[in-house]
Amino acid sequence: MKSIIDSKKYDTETAALVAEHSNGHGWNDFKFLREHLYVTKNGNWFLHGEGGALTEYADSYANCKSEGERIRAFTPDQALEWLAAHNETEAIEKYFADRIEEA
């Protein structure tokens, strides 16, 4: 999927996949949700998400909702927060080592 946001092209085919998360529901479930966090070769972060009619990714048509997908640009802080929320320790250590200190 490709999207242009603020004159920047975000493309899932050319960016590096950093981490992914699924809520465990099947693709035909209204609550299905899957997200992929990417970083571009220029260091820009984005989240590609897709989900069923009862998720934030749903598309609206008249009075109905159906599955949908979209790309959202992320700041490095948002990417780090998303990784921490999904316990992606290895990715945090790889991409945000300068923000980590020993306890």
The neighbour count for residue 39, using CB atoms within 10 Å, is 18
Cβ of 12: how many Cβ atoms within 10 Å?
A: 14
**Distance of alpha carbon 1 from alpha carbon 56, whole angstroms:** 18
Residue 74 CA to residue 89 CA, distance in Å, equals: 19
Residue whose tokens read 């809520």? 23
pLDDT digits (tens, 9 = 90+) for 17-33: 999 999 999 988 999 99
Task: Answer yes or no: pTM beyond 0.85.
Answer: yes
Mean pLDDT by 10 residues, the chain (103 residues): 96 98 92 97 97 91 89 98 97 96 90
